[in-house]
Structure 1
Amino acid sequence: MSETQRTPAKNTGRGRPLPFWMVLLAVILVAVNLRPGASSVGPVLAELQAALGLDATAAGVLTALPGLTFAAVGAFAVALSRRTGINGAVVLALGVVAAGLLVRAVVGTAVLFMLLTVLAFAGMAIGNILVPAFIKRHGGRRLPLLNSVYGTSLALGATLPLLFGGVLAGTGPQGWRLSLGIWGAVALLAFIPWVFLMWRAGRDPVATARRTRTGAKMRSSRIAVALSIFFGVQSMHAYVQFGWAAQIYRDAGLGQGQAALMAAIIAGLGIPGGLLMPVLVARSPRLRSYIVGLGICMVAGYSGLLLAPDTLPWLWAVCLGVGGFAFPTALALITARSREPQVTARLSGFIQPVGYLLAAMGPFAIGALHDISGSWTLPLALLIASAAVMVGAGIIAAAPGYVDDELASGGTKPRSRQ
């Protein structure tokens, strides 16, 4: 058992310590709201384009907005938490998510829709950065369990809009608005219990803790840099799939409902992945071999979409979904490769903005390449090639060691304690 699992974190907030059931519920409530704003667009993208007059390039920008916003706003999340505390920042994030998603569903112009989408994604960006620090702060011996719950809830939040988006959109001419707006109401429901949690637990100012004794920058850590690349490339694949997978299937001849179901399978497999991979990260000595296997699955899925998308559509969706296990792997590595909560917050604040900047380039590039080439051949070939980059970075990030040690030693190879 690792050092982070043996030693529960002390509570330095102004309020009372939180019981584990409350920590568990808090993680579920926030995590399930960090993806619907992005994944709910894919199933109704065609209807959205028609209603708001978005061309293919603007649609590509829309699919790139999650990564761009997560990168830009995520860089300031740790600084915000120094003023509001971890809990205060998450409450603010949920409120912003709810407002953005609810209002964007009723506007009639593309500009307002884009601005409100950015607002909602800004709230999600804050949650992306600070929830791992919240988990590290309260996890103690149950850190792998909380990581599993976090990854599974993220996957659930990404899957539900894909699963029900087509159904809700089919309720009428304006059904696409219901399909988008319902997730703002879900975020509002999560906002209320988080206000109570903040009142009970206090600010929980973990991010204000002193930095490592050397004050070294995260880019001096080999593990941190590799993990940011691994996180970024897998995020690129995830958001390409959120934004374009359903459309790729529709262009291959599948109906809207069946295409949405394939996209839901891809995202839905993140649920078992979120349960399994944090346990393997914490306990398995063969983690690097598993990362190679995830890359092979990803290549197989894209190859199927390239060569025979309508022959065995469910098989390619399953392959891509299993390849997506890289996402909970990356999240679990953030806490597994750091000891102290303040280092976890810094590591998360470094990895996710850098990673999401890479992720933002993917959906836009895929949309642009599709427009230029007139087919999905070139975009899918690019995705296949990038899977190799993801695997290479993942192998380095999964090697035993701690970012804390690399920061303390100026970036030299850390001492293994596993």
Structure 2
Amino acid sequence: MSLRNVLLVAGFLLAALNLRPAIAGLSPLLDEIMKDVGLSPSGGGAITTVMVVCLGVFGPLTPLLARRIGLDRTLLAGLLVVAAGELLRGLDGAPMLYLGSALAATAIAVMNVAMPGIVKQHFPTRVNLLTGVYVAAVVAGAAAASALVIPLERATGFDWRGVSALLAVPALLAALLWLPQAMRGKAAEQNGPRPFGAILRSRVTWYVTALMGLQSLTFYVMLAWLPTIFLDAGLPADQAGYLLSLTNLVQVATSLAVPVLAGRRDSQVPYVVGAGVLTVFGYLGVLLAPATVPWLWMVVLGIGQGASFALALLIIALRPADPAGVTALSAVAQSVGYVVAALGPLLFGYLREVSGGWTVPLTVGLGILGAQLVAGWFAGRPATLGKANL
């Protein structure tokens, strides 16, 4: 492999590592943030909700940017804006917290949509493998952030604001590594994205969108509230953070293996259904016995959620015929999907407030997982979105 290709892969992976720390890094600090800023549980859940809303609302910017400056430069811009958002939310006051979180999430939204297209553009013969590697890097970034923020507080003496600002450093490093690729990239895509109208008329698009949205909803609920659930069950804060990190680490291995295996088959239905069933068992464990073998529930949950996320992105990359089609389908599926997902953390925070515990929210989560299984059944069936029907 040439040096240029090594730098391409390294920059791509480091960029992927920065797609979740801005969100996952807040979860273990959520109780501290709520006490410091004076937020209610609903207000605390709203931080993640604001970010996930931005993931949905601003995803459609990506095809427009790709037309003007190309996918490579779009990714570079996203990394720089993510760093700016992480620095901004470390300033004093709740408005800066929400504004910085929204800015970081907007950049992540653009990068989320761009990454499957970049896989198709730069690695057209290795879509399965690079999708797995990319998803594993995304999950690894979330795992590292959730595991390290509390130790970083203790090691540096910073409060949550200082630790949040430190999360900008990896994004800046990724931007520096991706800069040569962006400078070599085309100023605009020669094959622009297909019109959204044609995408919206395809039933396949809506199956994929439903799968993306529902699996994202159940994921972000756990990302936002899992440490708090364990704290309420009597576990210490550092252990709660480590358990969240454990489920994310399990997702790394799952994300590497599942796309390679599932991509070899015309139908991904068996994998999507199996992933959904495992996620159900993880939710049940957290609901019925959160302090009893919590590591087991996190392993099961990690396998299920990691596979679900990887399969959703693999299906997005496989169905269209070219990078432009992937970018267009990715924009629709991730934008609408993340708007749906944004309801999760806020809904769970509200249900916790009115019910006084986690039984009602987690039971609702099990119902949502049932809908995810149905969506996955239809999204995983063989189909092709070719140039003619895009």
The TM tier, using the shorter chain, reads: over 0.9
AA matched with 1:159:
A
Identify the residue that residue 137 of structure 1 maps to in structure 2.
121
**For the Cα contact (< 8 Å) 1:233–1:390, is it kept in 2?**
yes
**For the Cα contact (< 8 Å) 1:281–1:333, is it kept in 2?**
no
**For the Cα contact (< 8 Å) 1:18–1:201, is it kept in 2?**
no
Identify the residue that residue 31 of structure 1 maps to in structure 2.
16
Gaps of 5+ in 2: none
Counterpart among 96, 108, 131 of residue 147 in structure 1? 131
Return closer, same or farther for 1:406/1:294 CA change in 2, 3 Å cut-off: farther
Identify the residue that residue 38 of structure 2 maps to in structure 1.
53
Shift of 1:133: 0.7
SS in 2 for 1:319: helix
Counterpart among 159, 166, 171 of residue 150 in structure 2? 166
SS in 2 for 1:240: helix
Identify the residue that residue 400 of structure 1 maps to in structure 2.
382
Identify the residue that residue 379 of structure 1 maps to in structure 2.
361
**For the Cα contact (< 8 Å) 2:87–2:100, is it kept in 1?**
no
Alpha-carbon separation, structure 2, partners of 1:207 and 1:55: 48
Tell me, yes or no, if structure 1 residue 73 matches structure 2 residue 83.
Answer: no
Tell me, yes or no, if structure 1 residue 296 matches structure 2 residue 277.
Answer: yes
AA matched with 2:224:
G
SS in 1 for 2:270: helix
Shift of 1:190: 0.8
Gaps of 5+ in 1: 1-16, 409-418
Identify the residue that residue 318 of structure 2 maps to in structure 1.
336
Return closer, same or farther for 1:173/1:50 CA change in 2, 3 Å cut-off: farther
Alpha-carbon separation, structure 2, partners of 1:59 and 1:384: 22
Single out whichever of 283-292 and 250-259 deviates more from structure 2. 283-292
Alpha-carbon separation, structure 1, partners of 2:27 and 2:197: 41
Equivalent residues in 2 for 1:193-212, closer than 5 Å: 193-203=177-187, 205=189, 208=192, 211=194
Identify the residue that residue 337 of structure 2 maps to in structure 1.
355
Equivalent residues in 2 for 1:11-410, closer than 5 Å: 19-105=4-90, 107-171=91-155, 174-203=158-187, 205=189, 208=192, 211=194, 217-284=198-265, 287-324=268-305, 325-404=307-386, 407=389
**For the Cα contact (< 8 Å) 2:205–2:329, is it kept in 1?**
yes
Single out whichever of 85-94 and 119-128 deviates more from structure 2. 85-94
**Identity of matched residues, %:** 31
How does the TM-score come out when normalised to structure 1? 0.88
AA matched with 2:14:
L
SS in 2 for 1:338: coil
How does the TM-score come out when normalised to structure 2? 0.95
Alpha-carbon separation, structure 2, partners of 1:330 and 1:236: 13
Shift of 1:173: 6.1
Alpha-carbon separation, structure 2, partners of 1:115 and 1:207: 35
Return closer, same or farther for 1:208/1:24 CA change in 2, 3 Å cut-off: same
Alpha-carbon separation, structure 1, partners of 2:188 and 2:232: 49
- Give the aligned length: 388
Equivalent residues in 2 for 1:403-418, closer than 5 Å: 403-404=385-386, 407=389
RMSD: 1.9
Alpha-carbon separation, structure 1, partners of 2:283 and 2:256: 24
Identify the residue that residue 414 of structure 1 maps to in structure 2.
none
**For the Cα contact (< 8 Å) 2:78–2:111, is it kept in 1?**
yes
SS in 2 for 1:283: coil
Alpha-carbon separation, structure 2, partners of 1:206 and 1:367: 46
SS in 1 for 2:295: helix
